[in-house]
Amino acid sequence: MVMTPKHGRLLFTYREYALLPDDGRRHELIEGDFYVTPAPATMHQTVSRRLSHALMFQLEDTGLALVFNAPCDVILDENTVAQPDLAIVRMTRRELVSKRGIEGPPNVVVEILSPSPKGQDELLKKAVYARFNVPEY
């Protein structure tokens, strides 16, 4: 954790994030704050699986891009680690893919909206993806 002089609060880092247990929930670190959401509902998972399958057929099988399903860490900086439902990295940028996750902004992130918490995907994460120059959201 680091104390930021600008905001006078503790910010968590990837180091603390990496210590979280695998408890079936989605853990994210957005600008130094932890966010935890329950496992996605079955309809959410159905949409994710079908979209992933279609994208893998069109992009991965043709050698254009790599398609990643959640949970997969998208490490945007030491204080921001998102887990979009799907992330796409073009083969020309495959060096972003490491053992830890995707280290830098992927070419595309997909968030499948659920009934709650809407503000997190539609506002907070959208703003974060824009700040880190994710081309498509």
Distance CA 68, CA 88 (A): 6
Full-model pTM: 0.87
Cα–Cα dist 1/119, whole Å: 26
Break the chain into its structural domains and give their ranges: 2-131
The matching CATH number, chosen from 3.40.140.10, 2.130.10.10, 3.90.1570.10, 3.30.360.10, for 2-131 is: 3.90.1570.10
Q: pLDDT value at position 127?
A: 92
- The single-letter DSSP state of residue 52 is H
pLDDT, residue 40, reads 85
For 35, phi and psi rounded to 5 degrees? -130, 135
Instruction: With a cut of 50, list the residues of the chain below it in pLDDT.
Output: 1, 3-6
